[in-house]
Structure 1
Amino acid sequence: MNRETTLPGHEPASRHHNPLLLACLAPATAFFTAFWLLPAVLLVALPAEKGWQTYFLVLTDSRYMWSMINTTLLSLVTTITTLLIGGAVGIYLARRRFAGRQVLLSLLTAPLAFPGVIIGFFIILLGGRQGWFADLGSALGMGRVTFAYGLTGLFLGYLYFSLPRAIAAYTAAADAMDPQLEEAARVLGASRWDITRDVWLPQLAPTTVACGAIVFATAMGAFGTAFTLSSKFEVIPITIYNEFTNYANFALAASLSITLGLVTWAVLFFARVAGTTSSGA
């Protein structure tokens, strides 16, 4: 029978470390409780003040339901487009070495520093009532062409906001791919499509899943860009903002926030499961 033995006057190290670990955890625990756990509990409890049916208004009221559908579909289209363009550009930049490559990569990822409001302003400068396209259309006799304040403007704004993240992620992932696998496939007579399907896609799958989840979650909760551009197309963050700011309907705003959080959390959860599965495959 083995027993823990200690020298006289010495205690096990774990007994000395436990108080220190607790002291280190205390600030983090207090911060987590005060600024996440408590607000989350209050948010979940708030709709109950007006009855349990408030939790399900997003399913029973057509206006809120369509706002959620609009947001989800726009986020899905933005995510798919971002992954396709970002993947193509990222892989190209990772596999090609040319003069000015680093400058180009820096320019492509520069929008990471811009908030959503600035990106919305960029879209307005292009497709707003006083934008470049409006001036061009007027000069060509086509009238003042605008697209900034509806679905097209929102999509372009979301895409502009998301692409730099995808390009940076795919460039790093493509740089880390094992070139020997591709070379072996070429020696065995694999076509370009076979290499893309059997070599590139499996190695880039974790990046695709993780990047797609982040882009989708960001698009679902985007406020600055939507606030600037969504005068003709309502999305759920603007609906929530209107409910608690313009109408002081805090219970309904909380209910919509819970729904938005659940949808986004579900996507992130399944993306994590899928990423774990693809990494272990």
Structure 2
Amino acid sequence: MSKASFFPRSQRAIMLACLGPTTAFFFAFWLLPVTRLVMLPAQQGWQTYFAVLTHSRYLNSLLNTVVLSVIVTILTLILGATVGMYLARRQFRGRELLLSLLTLPLSFPGVIVGFFVILLGGRQGPIADLTQALGMGRITFAYGAIGLFLAYLYFSLPRAIANYTAAAEAMDTSLEEAARALGASKYNITRDVWIPQLAPTTVACGAIIFATAMGAFGTAFTLSSKFEVLPISIYNEFTNYANFALAASLSVALGLITWAVLFIARIVSESGNRTLGRPA
């Protein structure tokens, strides 16, 4: 019996009627803009699609973005897993309050996060005041790679902590107890019990953190005066220079890299679920 036979004709008509606005929204606000974005660089020649690889400025911007995103992702996963495991395994007074404070930055937009870094490491921040008092001049770090790194880490870490805490609380403790009973060391438990069970969270969370760092604009716009990343290059091209074709080309490159990472993460997650016998 087909699935359609389970629904009366009236319900199928309602479902088709609801599908109409959804389809129209998909075409109007996703398919048409994306198609336009992909075709726009062709107006200046097909070589425009490869501008991010043939022009040193845009290539450096791309490399800056990818390297920064990878470093932020790795460190965020390490710190997030450590804090998440600790919070999941420890019960103490004020635990829920601490967890809510650690995840508070989730409510802040990127501009505010960048402003926090400026307040700390900007020209009028306490670090600059301290270095001046020590006779070293006013040293700042907010407007370059270090400032962006700290801002991205601050912005990404709450997501990792929340995800790892939830995943650690759902772990099968019987496996760990069995390993302890067999005399496994803390290192072996971490390697053979914790890491495999947290692997799906690590893959999914890492992909989202990387994608977020690659496309972050508000934070980069606030801090990247000395360290250009690809979202700022795109912004400059279509806002300051009205070079829409080149901006579209850079956008396509950024989107392809991010999509590839998300796609690979999905494949790895599905493969891991099949290995563990879980539904994909």
* TM-score (norm. length: structure 2): 0.95
Percent identity of equivalent pairs: 71
Residues 177 and 51 (structure 1 numbering): CA distance in 2 closer, same or farther, change over 3 Å?
same
CA positional deviation for 1:218 = 0.1
1:16 corresponds to 2:16: no
Secondary structure at the counterpart of residue 142 of structure 1: coil
CA positional deviation for 1:51 = 0.7
Which string of whole-angstrom CA distances, capped at 9 and with x for unpartnered residues, describes residues 193-236 of structure 1? 11001100010000000000000000000000000000000000
Report the AA paired with residue 141 of structure 2. F
- Aligned residue in 2 for 1:266: 260
CA positional deviation for 1:247 = 0.1
Q: Which has the larger radius of gyration?
A: 1
Instruction: Give the distance between the partners of 1:185 and 1:65, measured in 2 at CA.
Output: 49
Instruction: Give the distance between the partners of 1:114 and 1:255, measured in 2 at CA.
Output: 30
- Aligned residue in 2 for 1:132: 126
Residues 45 and 190 (structure 1 numbering): CA distance in 2 closer, same or farther, change over 3 Å?
same
- Match for 2:93 among 99, 106, 110? 99
Instruction: Give the distance between the partners of 1:110 and 1:12, measured in 2 at CA.
Output: 46
Which string of whole-angstrom CA distances, capped at 9 and with x for unpartnered residues, describes residues 13-62 of structure 1? 44333221111111111111111111001001100111111001111111
1:174 corresponds to 2:168: yes
- Aligned residue in 2 for 1:8: none
Secondary structure at the counterpart of residue 85 of structure 1: helix
- Match for 1:257 among 237, 247, 251? 251
- Match for 2:46 among 42, 52, 58? 52
Q: 1:4-83 counterparts in 2 under 5 A?
A: 13-83=7-77
Which string of whole-angstrom CA distances, capped at 9 and with x for unpartnered residues, describes residues 59-118 of structure 1? 111111111011000000000000000110010000001111111101100000000000
Secondary structure at the counterpart of residue 200 of structure 1: helix
Instruction: Give the distance between the partners of 1:270 and 1:14, measured in 2 at CA.
Output: 40
Instruction: Give the distance between the partners of 1:117 and 1:198, measured in 2 at CA.
Output: 41
Instruction: Give the distance between the partners of 1:129 and 1:12, measured in 2 at CA.
Output: 68
1:243 corresponds to 2:237: yes
- Aligned residue in 1 for 2:272: 278
Deviates more, 1:73-82 or 1:11-20: 11-20
Which string of whole-angstrom CA distances, capped at 9 and with x for unpartnered residues, describes residues 152-188 of structure 1? 0000000000000000000000000011110000001
- Aligned residue in 2 for 1:108: 102
Q: Which runs of 5+ in 1 are unaligned?
A: 5-10
1:217 corresponds to 2:211: yes
CA positional deviation for 1:12 = 7.7
- Aligned residue in 1 for 2:278: none
Instruction: Give the distance between the partners of 1:27 and 1:276, measured in 2 at CA.
Output: 31
Residues 137 and 13 (structure 1 numbering): CA distance in 2 closer, same or farther, change over 3 Å?
closer
- Aligned residue in 2 for 1:120: 114
Deviates more, 1:124-133 or 1:25-34: 25-34
